[in-house]
Chains A and B, each alone.
Chain A
Amino acid sequence: MIKRGVSPVIATVLLIMIVVVLAGIVFIWARGFLSESAVKGGKSVETSCADVNFEVQLIFNAEECNGNAAIDINNIGNIPIYGVQVLRYDSSSGSIDNVALLDQPFDGGTVTMGESSFACIGISVSSGDTFRIIPKLLAEKGERKIAYTCPEENGATVAYD
């Protein structure tokens, strides 16, 4: 009987290669179900969101918006703010509305470091309304540029009293 066979080292290498190849196949297959991470400056955009530093103020009747409500923003940090998502909390009904705004609602576009700007929010504001202003950053996703909305914890709350 011929007792030839692969050596234990070859067998181990083969096993590892098979596992690695299988893991690769599973990874590529599963990647389709996971969202591709957005990147800003070679880093995950979430890390930039944590560094955003801004002041925000709700203006009830802004001259620049023909007497309608506006949001003033003052970027006192080093991360440019591309836009904002505005959520309105209605204290009477307890509902949360997403105020429809353009991707870049600010006068002059992106609010760069140290600059300030305003955005007309085009809705009527009543006493007791509370707004959560969440910054959006310009990020890259693959080949595309996208407006990435930061997690809500990176936002700021303003109220009309």
Chain B
Amino acid sequence: MSQLNRKGVSIMVGYVLLISIAVALATAVFFYLKLYLPDDKQDCYEDIYLVIDQVSCVKDSGGTFSTVYINFSNKGLFSVDGAFIKIGDFDRILRQTLNDPETGLMSNCNNNASLRPGAMFCGSYRYNSAPVGKQEISVQPLIWIKNEPVICPESIVSKDILCT
């Protein structure tokens, strides 16, 4: 009988060990690199299109604030879940947001929180200014995708108004 001790781990155990090490290393590298991979970015749909039908701005008698009346319609192919309705001086991009965009678009003209294609929204808002010069009102739509609000930078509509 040979004195050589041929005991050791079996070939199967050897393979299992090697594969386990490879998998552990691959997992570590994957989680390390995952940090640098961009997420699945939620983008707004392309065919979202709002049209401002009517807008007016009426100053109060005291000249301290104004009331803005706005009607807009969804002329696109998808429902719009919210919108940033903003107003400011015509020659500046600084805007005051008139509404709470995340509360939806239910109004006297629209019974749903979302504005479906073809539906119209109408609302009136207090504007904490009684401006003299030309103003610009803009509406930027917002939709919810996977429980996250996503705003649509390509679908902003705006209109010039004078507060009277």
Contact = CB atoms under 8 A, between A and B. Distances in A.
| A and B from one complex | yes
A73 B88 CA distance: 13
Contact of A59 (B5, B92, B140): B92
B101 to A, nearest CB: 6
B84 A47 contact: no
Given A72-B92, A116-B93, A47 B18 contact: no
B9 A9 contact: yes
A117 B9 contact: no
- Interface size, B (range): 35 or more
Interface residues of A, number: 39
A12 B18 contact: yes
Given A116-B93, A116-B94, 14 more contacts: A2-B3, A7-B6, A7-B7, A7-B8, A17-B21, A43-B38, A46-B36, A59-B92, A74-B93, A74-B94, A114-B84, A114-B140, A114-B142, A116-B88
A16 interface: yes
Interface string B138-164: 001010000001110100100000000
13 contacts: A2-B3, A3-B3, A9-B11, A16-B21, A37-B35, A47-B38, A53-B153, A59-B92, A72-B93, A72-B94, A73-B93, A76-B153, A114-B142
B26 interface: no
A2 B38 CA distance: 59
Interface of A: 2-4, 6-7, 9-10, 12-13, 16-17, 20, 37, 39, 41-44, 46-47, 50-51, 53, 55-57, 59, 72-74, 76-78, 113-118
A3 B4 contact: yes
Contacts of B41: 51
Per DSSP, are chain A's interface residues mostly helix, strand or loop, or mixed? mixed
